Structure 1
């Protein structure tokens, strides 16, 4: 193959393709010309790769083809409209579709945690076995309440945000294996049960529930959602819907998992702010709980109203 002759024959078309690819606005005829030149140049590139593998020329034409393809397909750009669609439809719909799963997780976790609190409170030797008598006394005297004021509020909020997001990410990522999700939930329920049981046993139930409730309602709901969506992904692998293959079912549930993971970043940011600034605030306990309950109920209403609306508008995803 005579490379110089080939370049001389087609070089004009390549230059014209480059010109159209860089031009700001094209009319209908120029768009048609761009498409035709793109197709021809793609063929030229394929010929050169197979018959005259000149690295410099192939690199030049590859870049030209990529630029032309980007001009034809358009470059994806972030937009406020896309962000709005995510928060108005994408995220709430993904959470709403998984509501049986995360509501089930929430119910099981709450029952188990309350049972552990009751059991530890009525069996002091159990708490001693878990953390020791000295540690239990310190926890009741200052340790539990001091946890919320040990660090500066902004630093504490950032730590809580990243920690909770990491726990949620583990639940979502491990959902396909199912068992790790239950292990993570058990660890958290055991922690709540032992600490709560010790506080109740020492007559400090008001301190425990007064400090954990304001942020715990929203924070734990985020964990429940992550665990429920993760388990939904695992179940899609075990028992896919009849109209979908196993791979399609997992892919669909996995896409919802990605939406939920992104949305929970915002939820955990809100819960972290509440825990760092509201929970330890020197105001009456009912007021702190009211702030947390308001944020929690607002999230549930957001998911119920917008999520149901988005799901009904796209019945194929329900």
Structure 2
């Protein structure tokens, strides 16, 4: 058989196989039906046979490379493990999200400074000068904090007087609070991200506002003399919640910078390319906020000595740092 005759006979089959590859590759390893599996397997074997024929007859390196690429793509797809929904979610959370976070670390650092800087300053300022709290919070909010921490039993449960019905009521209440925390915290993160389209100004405002508000609240409560109870409550879920808000802010700043400095790309292209990574960072931050809401609803208010909560809280802060700094790194 001559090379020209071979190409005329086999080229349509290769083109059909390429179409099959493009179809399955663009839908994230879609499951094939039994008939499609048989057809795909047959095409894969035919390409392998054609490649061997081209090699033995020395019909050109370009043709050999073309068939080798087809065979490699088909082999990778056909023999790759099929990822289910949970596997895909785990792959994103533990591999892709931390990598994207580290890729755009400059924006994350700036967002952290804009959020944690005002938080720490307002915390220290109001803890030392409590009357200044009235400039940052309404009198109604101040009175509410005074009432919340006026009783030693207001934020804890009586372990000795707990019946089965009480535990049911507590579980229902905590589940309801978890839903509230998810809605509230994820809402803040989405604001940080979405307002980045306003050239980053909206994100900067949201980070500064929430940083000042949280710091003012912490400073005022600590000025009342309730450091042990308050810090014991916030130390655990704060690791996920505060970090996630800063990450969402970094995603918003990335979008804002793409709009301001598109570089060699058009503004729309820059927004589309960077917006994909920014959106994934926002989704990762939302997952962290869900974890924070569960901790805040069930663990933080539990009647457990503060020493244990500080111990768990320190471990969670360390875990979040290790997760963002090391998870998803390639082994050398």
Aligned to 2:224: 202
Tell me the CA shift for residue 219 of structure 1: 0.3
* Aligned position for 1:238: 260
Question: Do 2:107 and 2:253's aligned partners in 1 also have CA atoms closer than 8 Å?
Answer: yes
Question: What is the Cα deviation at residue 84 of structure 1?
Answer: 4.2
Aligned length: 249
Counterpart CA distance in 2 for 1:207 and 1:247 is 49
For structure 2, the residue ranges without an aligned partner over 5 or more in a row are 1-32, 44-81, 158-169
Q: 1:287 aligns with which of 274, 290, 308?
A: 308
Superposed counterparts of 1:99-138, under 5 Å: 99-131=105-137, 136-138=142-144
Aligned partner of 1:229 in structure 2 is 251
**Cα pair distance change 1:245/1:214, threshold 3 Å:** same
Number of the residue aligned with 1:212 = 234
Aligned to 1:299: 320
**Offset from partner CA, 1:266-294 (integer Å, 9 cap, x none):** 21121111111121121122321332332
Pair 1:85-2:91 in alignment: yes
Structure 1's 135 and 238: CA in aligned 2 closer, same or farther, altered over 3 A? closer
Work out which of the residue numbers 172, 176, 180 in structure 2 matches 1:155: 176
Name the counterpart of 1:62.
Answer: none
**TM-score where L is the length of structure 2:** 0.63
**Alignment CA distance shift 1:209-1:258 (3 Å):** same
Report the CA distance shift for 1:267/1:124 in structure 2 as closer, same or farther (over 3 A). Answer: closer
Map of 1:180 onto structure 2: 202
Deviations 1:176-232 (A, max 9, x none): 211111222222123223222322332223333232222112101000000011101
Distance 1:217 1:274 in 2: 10
Q: Summarize the Cα distance change of 1:279–1:22 in structure 2 as closer, same or farther, 3 Å threshold.
A: closer
Runs of 5+ in structure 1 lacking a partner? Answer: 1-20, 32-75, 314-318
Residues 114, 208 of structure 2: 8 Å contact kept: no
CA RMSD across the alignment: 3.6
The aligned counterpart of 1:274 is 295
CA distance in 1 between partners of 2:191 and 2:319 (Å)? 26
Asked whether the 8 Å contact 1:140–1:198 carries over to 2, the reply is: no
The alignment partner of 1:281 has SS state of coil
TM-score (normalizing by structure 1): 0.65
Report the 3-state secondary structure (helix = DSSP H, G, I; strand = E; otherwise coil) of the residue aligned with 2:330.
helix
Maintained 8 Å contact 1:91/1:259: yes
- 1:140-186: CA deviations, max 9, x gaps? 34259958989811111121112211211121111121111122222
- Which position in structure 2 is the counterpart of 1:254? 275
- CA drift at 1:309: 3.5
CA spacing shift, 1:249–1:148, aligned 2, 3 Å: farther
Query: 1:50-61 alignment to 2 at 5 Å?
Result: none
Farther-moved stretch of structure 1 (123-132 vs 250-259) = 123-132
